[in-house]
Structure 1
Amino acid sequence: MSEPSDEQAAMQHYLVCGTENCQKNGQFYCNACHRPLCEQCRDEHQKSPKTKNHEIVLYRHRKHQLPVELCQEHPTRNKELFCRECSIPLCSKCSTMKEHKGHDIDDLEEIYADKYAVWQGEFSKIQKYFLPTTNSLKADIEEDVTEIKNIMESIRTSIKAEAESLKNLVDEVTSESIENTHTMEKSLLKMLKSQETTYDDYITYLWKMSDEFQEYLSITNKKLLFTKTLRIQPIPETTKPVPTVFTAGRFSKNDVTKLLGKVDVSNRKPEKRKIQPMEAESAHMKPTEKQLEQSTEKSDMKQILSLSSSVTKVKEYSIPGVDRAFYVSVDKSGRLWVSDRDGYLVQTDLQGNLLHKIQTSGEEEGYHTATQDGDLIYTEQDKKVIYRITPDRKITEFIKTGDWTPLSVHSSRINGDILVGMYTDEEAKVTRYNKAGKEIQNIQRDNQGQELYSYPRYITENINGDICTSDGCNDKVVVVNKSGQHRFSYTGQGSEFWPWGICTDVLGHILVCDSASDTVHLLEQDGRFLSVILSSQQGIMFPRGVCVDYENNLLVGQRGTSTVTVYKYLQ
């Protein structure tokens, strides 16, 4: 394939058309040829006498190509057929042999595509229903914990108020009543903690199932042809706690206990937590190719974002208080946090006005991140501490990392977890903390015991839970799944690749700066290179930091300027 022209390169953003010498966006797919096509090549494909009967669909609706497997009996042929009677794959020559005479022989690729769709549907259920619903139930428990604490505190206040006027007579009874509330509270909280553990265990199970589904869905994995569809265990049921009530008494010297009231458990029957039912099974089934073709592109566009025909610069921010815009974080309101190599970290409003400025020990790393709650988390390498800045600009110590130097940090948009890339003189790792700052996971080595990281300079999380790290010493992007299992590494397209800032978007794409070519690369969720999305042709020089805001715009910081440039690349 020849090199694209300057004009072609400027228009190249996602999947490239598979026709030779064509560099346009391959938004369609030929299921017969198994290659992407642009709109023009699709029309030519349908007009050609040789290919006019080929099935062409939108790329997202493509049939997944059958993994190649050579026949052991006939090594020059691929296994492309399936014998229903014997339940084994065959090559075309095997299907004509006498042991398969009269048997039902099907197209193996069709079976594979159907199986793939079924497993993909089950994987989708975990992502779209089971995990969100279970996390919602867990959040409900957290609200109940707060309510129980508030109720108990209210009861204790009432007891103290009742006892104040008769303090000399009721000290002992007051003490006993308060102790009784602590006992009840402990019992209730113990019950809620047990429920939390139940859902934590179930969430772990769901992630394990999700990883297993991903393995079966791999295009090179044919196990799903012969494996029964696994059934997902139902969400455990739990009961909401019955709040304790306080029954007020009347003052009497002869019956101090009655005067102070009685703390007791309500006789209300516990109600089961409401589990949102899953949509009808038909809603998760893959539609037929005929149905997909009948659906309009306009309807598809309403459901998900797609590639814009070109990358458009929509805005520029000249950031006061920094020498160079190395790394960028953005909160839900659109306000920016920008850092330079001298350790200055500033916040600006939507007009680029300076709101806040601090001096840190950070340099060229992705050492700050905006949280779901509107806070900013940043690392102090010299102190080996991670700090939190609240919207009212109060700075507090959040996490101590001990002997490890924290380099990069990212706040998950999925669950609020904090991911930190850190290192010592001998080793490096990625550590996960929950949003309260409790350490819950360490990722350091692959399944063969090899070190995954050397200098995890930038870190982000994809929509499927993958942790994507830009390693400054190994010169590669390292991607692991939520469980910490190594999925793939990306080492660029040329002889040299120097990865810097990294981020992901709502479609699961990975965007990473390459300082070797001063470009921004666009990858699929599974690591396949799609295109150079930004280069000098879009006015980019020395890109260092990238992030996607809540309006799906791409923000880019550059080494040679204090300006942050905003691009629109999705529509």
Structure 2
Amino acid sequence: MDPRAQDVLLCDLCETDPLQYGCEHCDINLCTDCVRKHISDSSKKHDIVPYHLHRKFTPKYSKCVKHANKDCEIYCEKCDIPVCVTCISSSKHKGHNISDILEKLGFKKQRIQKDLEQLENRIYPRYEEISSDVQIEKAKVETNYGKLATAADQQGEVLHREVTATVNKRKADIAEMKTKHLAVLEQHTGEITHRMTEIKQVILEMKNILDTDDISSLTSTYKSRNDEFNKLPPKIIVTLPILSTPTISTEKVTEMFGSLTSLSVTTARSLLAEPLLTATIDTGYDRLRSVSCLNEEQVWTQGEDKIMKLLNLKGELLTSIQTKSGNEPDDIAVTRDGNLVYTDCDDETVNLVKNKKIRTVITLQGWVPLNVCCTSSDDLLVTMISDDWTQSKVVRYSGSTEKQTIQFDDQGRPLYSSGYNDKYISENRNLDICVADGGASSVVVVNQSGKLRFRYTGHPSNTEESFNPAGITTDSQSHILTADFHNHRIHILDQDGQFIRYIQNLFFSWGLCVDINDNLFVAEINNAKVKKIQYL
């Protein structure tokens, strides 16, 4: 058993899960899963109650500050304080919602128990993992800086005595940078250790609270800090200095000795231990297909309707645009200038909406446009399929001019599936082109030249569930995020296609986008809601 969990009260049956209930008739403590097993024995009478009601204890009521001879047996929900019966009958609490103090005590302990479990089982282990990574990095420092020092020695041997002074100076610079490097890592270690100490202290305090029946401490002093600790410390990335090797010359030895780059310390944004849902937008569509960020507070949405809507985080309609043809659009995107772009498969066009006026910028012949994204250079990338549904490709446009076609790999094989399937597209920060190919059940990633880099077909350990990619987007850390709509989750990959984690519990997720602050917006197709999620 984890020694940090040794004071948690466990179920009498399974002896592994925290208890939540008790059977009054059998006088046994039970976890949620074991309640069903216990009551399945119909030969006995059972009376299942919440654990805080099952425990036999004498409550320590706090005395009322206004009525010294009265115990605070009632809780005023509006004032958020314990009160006595006399207080409740006064005009000060007239019309306020009240509850039994013991019931409030039970709810409070359940919240503390939940927070405790999250800290012990999820948040604290992440801190341990980060701390371990820093220790590994510190171990590498000795080796890497030793290699730099050796390189400096080798250069000094070639230039003999006349460069000895320069060699010594260079080694001193390396040693100084090493000291700075270690100092950065030591500081980072200290910060992580400090937070870990705080968490341990909070865990200890929470356990002490759970072990007491002092209502005053339970209802007044406890404040959850799990949201604070859920924001994990960023990972420190230190770029190792490079010692260049110059052409050897006896003239201007110092100038020709090469240079040592400066120590570069940057902070990479790390993933939260638990993603946070920060907003839910009801779009009003019957079915929602795409979402595209205009800014942090406003999103364009597109459903199975000829109307495209600009909504704020409250779901208030700011602007609506009807397609030029009156057809349902296939996909939408927002340009760097904040203009709306949409594809119309029925009339085979790509259209730009500026100042509420629609202009057709691309008209295809023999091809049907599917999905679209805007690149960092303000080009448009459009996935399309041939009229007979036998071929698929990605085409880059600058305005109305075709600049690039991506269709086959180096062996002449099609990169993308045929058939009329969504192929959502996004450009990564490293300029890779990422396509969620629903027809092939894969994410296909090529570099900016169109050369295949990798295919992602789902988590390799998950062989029982099919991978059904729909929407796709990328963030400032070059993560690739794709919706797995049948499995109700988002896959997060690194720029090389390695699985990092899931974002779970989404309802048929479809279209995706990320705003400038790396907030993720998810379009849930069946309930037509957009969810804003903080995951970094």
User: What whole-Å deviation, never above 9, does each CA across 1:144-178 have from its counterpart, x for those lacking one?
Assistant: xxxxxxxxxxxxxxxxxxxxxxxxxxxxxxxxxxx
Q: Which residue of 1 aligns with 2:270?
A: 306
TM score, norm. by length of structure 1? 0.49
- When residues 411 and 515 of structure 1 are mapped into structure 2, their CA distance, relative to the original with a 3 A threshold, is same
Q: Kindly state the Cα deviation for residue 290 of structure 1 after the two structures are TM-superposed.
A: 3.0
Q: Which residue of 2 aligns with 1:13?
A: none
Q: Which residue of 1 aligns with 2:333?
A: 369
Q: Kindly state the Cα deviation for residue 300 of structure 1 after the two structures are TM-superposed.
A: 5.8
Mapping 1:22-421, distance limit 5 Å: 38-40=126-128, 56-57=133-134, 290=182, 292-296=184-188, 303-320=267-284, 322-332=285-295, 334-354=297-317, 355-359=319-323, 367-390=331-354, 392-412=355-375, 414-421=376-383
Q: Kindly state the Cα deviation for residue 375 of structure 1 after the two structures are TM-superposed.
A: 0.4
**Residue number among 419, 427, 430 corresponding to 1:464 in the alignment:** 430
TM score, norm. by length of structure 2? 0.52
Partner SS for 1:488: strand
Identity of aligned residues (%): 33
| Contact 1:510/1:523, CA 8 A, preserved across alignment | yes
- Unmatched segments (≥5 aa) in structure 1: 6-21, 27-36, 44-54, 65-106, 119-281
- When residues 353 and 468 of structure 1 are mapped into structure 2, their CA distance, relative to the original with a 3 A threshold, is same
| Contact 1:428/1:456, CA 8 A, preserved across alignment | no
Q: Kindly state the Cα deviation for residue 38 of structure 1 after the two structures are TM-superposed.
A: 3.9
Q: Kindly state the Cα deviation for residue 350 of structure 1 after the two structures are TM-superposed.
A: 4.7
**Residue number among 486, 490, 493 corresponding to 2:456 in the alignment:** 490
Counterpart code for 2:185: E
| Contact 1:420/1:432, CA 8 A, preserved across alignment | yes
Aligned CA-pair RMSD:
3.7
Counterpart code for 2:182: K
Counterpart code for 1:525: Q
- When residues 351 and 519 of structure 1 are mapped into structure 2, their CA distance, relative to the original with a 3 A threshold, is closer
| Contact 2:472/2:512, CA 8 A, preserved across alignment | yes
- When residues 293 and 370 of structure 1 are mapped into structure 2, their CA distance, relative to the original with a 3 A threshold, is same
Counterpart code for 1:489: R
Q: Kindly state the Cα deviation for residue 502 of structure 1 after the two structures are TM-superposed.
A: 0.7
Partner SS for 1:57: helix
Counterpart code for 1:452: L
| Contact 2:329/2:343, CA 8 A, preserved across alignment | no
Q: Which residue of 2 aligns with 1:169?
A: none
| Contact 2:292/2:300, CA 8 A, preserved across alignment | yes
Aligned: 1:554 with 2:520: yes
User: What whole-Å deviation, never above 9, does each CA across 1:471-529 have from its counterpart, x for those lacking one?
Assistant: 12111110001111100001114341111011111111111111231211111111011
Greater relative CO, 1 or 2 (CA 8 Å, sep 6+): 1
CA distance in 2, matches of 1:23, 1:361: 53
- When residues 41 and 472 of structure 1 are mapped into structure 2, their CA distance, relative to the original with a 3 A threshold, is closer
Q: Kindly state the Cα deviation for residue 42 of structure 1 after the two structures are TM-superposed.
A: 6.9
Partner SS for 1:309: coil
CA distance in 2, matches of 1:509, 1:404: 31
Partner SS for 1:473: helix
Q: Kindly state the Cα deviation for residue 61 of structure 1 after the two structures are TM-superposed.
A: 8.9
Figure out how many residues of one structure are paired with residues of the other and give that number: 310
CA distance in 1, matches of 2:146, 2:479: 23
User: What whole-Å deviation, never above 9, does each CA across 1:347-380 have from its counterpart, x for those lacking one?
Assistant: 2245422211324777695x11001101011111
CA distance in 2, matches of 1:286, 1:490: 39
Q: Kindly state the Cα deviation for residue 56 of structure 1 after the two structures are TM-superposed.
A: 4.5
- When residues 313 and 287 of structure 1 are mapped into structure 2, their CA distance, relative to the original with a 3 A threshold, is farther
Partner SS for 2:272: strand
| Contact 2:296/2:517, CA 8 A, preserved across alignment | no
Q: Which residue of 1 aligns with 2:496?
A: 526
**Residue number among 415, 433, 457 corresponding to 2:397 in the alignment:** 433
User: What whole-Å deviation, never above 9, does each CA across 1:70-92 have from its counterpart, x for those lacking one?
Assistant: xxxxxxxxxxxxxxxxxxxxxxx
- When residues 62 and 317 of structure 1 are mapped into structure 2, their CA distance, relative to the original with a 3 A threshold, is farther
- When residues 549 and 333 of structure 1 are mapped into structure 2, their CA distance, relative to the original with a 3 A threshold, is closer
**Residue number among 420, 423, 426 corresponding to 2:385 in the alignment:** 423
| Contact 2:292/2:301, CA 8 A, preserved across alignment | yes
User: What whole-Å deviation, never above 9, does each CA across 1:179-210 have from its counterpart, x for those lacking one?
Assistant: xxxxxxxxxxxxxxxxxxxxxxxxxxxxxxxx
CA distance in 2, matches of 1:372, 1:443: 23
**Residue number among 474, 480, 484 corresponding to 1:510 in the alignment:** 480
Q: Kindly state the Cα deviation for residue 389 of structure 1 after the two structures are TM-superposed.
A: 0.4
Q: Kindly state the Cα deviation for residue 458 of structure 1 after the two structures are TM-superposed.
A: 0.4
Partner SS for 1:516: helix
